[in-house]
Amino acid sequence: MKPMDELMDEHRVIERVLNTLEVSANLMESGVTVRPEFLLSAADFIRGYADGCHHAKEEGVLFAHMAEQGIPLQGCPLGVMLAEHECGRQYTRALTSAAQALQSGDSSGTRRAIQSSRSYVALLRQHIYKEDNILFPMAENVIPIDQHDLIQERFDQVEHEDIGVDKHQKYLSLAIALEQEISTYS
């Protein structure tokens, strides 16, 4: 598997969780009570998988290799991707805060959960589109083919040593659990 294919496969898993967040926001908007623990689990997935695993590979490995080939880390496209990663982290913190408020009985958390969920979903959908269709093809063009195996080795190192061997499967299982739970509301 090519390194960019691995990142795109991870995007497909992230999109599944984005779909659950979108449905949860729509349900809450229509007056349905979504368990705060569902929202906290979605935020855990985002922190652990989308940010902790996926973005760690991009920021710590791919972007560095692109920079070595003359693509600046500031400006477009890498600086934009980094800024969007940080914006996503802010939305995730807001979602966590809203869910915790709901857990403690503060109904104002509903509006904040809706807003942060929708903001995160919108951000990540366009972000993923840009990466899949612009950034990753660019990376394949500028990074010499003989470095692709090295990138894959570093991805594996991030996955096994930095993140932990069992974490990837934990988050894949969590994505499935989120899909199953949100389907019970419909």
Are 2 and 140 a contacting pair, CB within 8 Å? yes
Distance CA 186, CA 184 (A): 6
CATH number at residue 168: 1.20.120.520
pLDDT per residue over 22-55, tens digit each?
Answer: 999 999 999 999 999 999 999 999 999 999 899 9
What pLDDT score was predicted for residue 166? 86
Domains identified in the chain, total number: 1
Q: Which two tokens stand for residue 102?
A: 């709901």
Whole-structure pTM value: 0.95
pLDDT per residue over 142-157, tens digit each?
Answer: 999 999 999 999 999 9
Distance of CA 66 to the CA centre of its chain: 21
The answer on pLDDT for 75 being more than 90 is no
Q: Which residue segment(s) compose the domain that 28 sits in? A: 3-185
